[in-house]
Amino acid sequence: MSRCPGMYCGRTVLDNGTLSDCTACPRGFRSNSSSICELCKDNPIFYDWLYLGFIVITVCVLHLFCIDTTVRKKGVVLHICAVLETIAAAILTVLVVDPIGEFGVRSCHTHHLSDWYTLFHNPSPQYEKTLHCTQEAVYPLYTMVFMFYAIAVSLMLLIRPWVAGKFVPLSGKLSIYAAMYFFPLLSLIHAAFGGLIYFSFPYIIIILSIISNAAHFALELDQSMSALVMNTVTDTVNVVTVLVHWALNAYGIISITQLTEPLTHSLLILLVPAPTIFYILTARFTDPKKLHAD
């Protein structure tokens, strides 16, 4: 029997043992080299887990940022609440995907960027009729992110109002309103750019972390080297902020290298403090007071 046209069309085995016509494979299946829809039995690779971790980190960072900008006092309670909500949502998401109730995921491996956008690869044999073979070829990475967002919103609406009302009754609700805006936005971004983000998220993490690190230090009034060092090591908030940036840098490096060469790639993690050190050493050269007009 000839192969199906297109990259993602396949045939399913019917109850009577015969094969169906070429069509989209059911969810959780993907066509093989013979155009037979096979059950996804792979385990997510290390990079897949790092991508899912990036999704979780993004939500957590946005929660913390919204809390920082809306709550001035007793924000630590909401910070802890947001982190616990996000972790719980991530755990529940893993438990509700197939196999249900287990800390494991049955998946199909991602091979090409087009795997994320099967909608644009429906074949038209002899330009007469389009075969609609749109499917989740990257099962379950695409829908899993939407599930995580839905669970995270649900947990936030169940837990955060009670915590905010008890500890931060006036401004605590503002962080909830902010999240109700960024969750739909994240969903739209994932729907349109999920594949692009999957292949580029390590570089996104590092670039945004470096920019955020520079912005953090730029807010200091005294840009001298000694003042930057002292403010960094003596202020608890600054210490935590710098450590978070370092952790994000390390996460980006691990995601890029995937530690395929453990010894060599582990040494690259020593570069994590480089953006911070570079800013402190060069900040004095960018002081506007030292610029002379021509």
One pLDDT digit (tens) per residue for the chain, 294 residues: 688 998 999 999 888 878 889 999 999 999 998 899 999 999 999 999 999 999 999 999 999 999 988 887 767 899 999 999 999 999 999 999 988 999 889 999 999 999 999 999 999 888 888 899 999 999 999 999 999 999 999 999 999 999 988 888 877 888 899 999 999 999 999 999 999 999 999 999 999 999 999 999 988 888 888 999 999 999 888 999 999 999 999 999 999 999 999 999 999 999 999 999 999 999 877 766 665 544
Do 53 and 195 reside in the same domain of the chain?
yes
Does residue 294 belong to any structural domain of this protein?
Answer: no
Does residue 157 belong to any structural domain of this protein?
Answer: yes
Do 282 and 148 reside in the same domain of the chain?
yes
Count CA atoms within 13 Å of residue 207 on its CB side.
5
> How many residues are given for the chain?
294
Do 101 and 230 reside in the same domain of the chain?
yes
pLDDT, position 110: 93
Domain residues for the domain of 51 are 40-105+140-286
Peptide bond into 99 cis (omega under 30): yes
Do 98 and 1 reside in the same domain of the chain?
no
pLDDT, position 71: 82
Tabulate helix, strand, coil % of the chain (nearest 5): 65, 5, 30
pLDDT, position 1: 67
pLDDT, position 294: 45
Number of domains in the chain: 2
Does residue 291 belong to any structural domain of this protein?
Answer: no
d(CA 168, CA 189): 31
d(CA 205, CA 56): 13
- Single pTM value for the model: 0.91
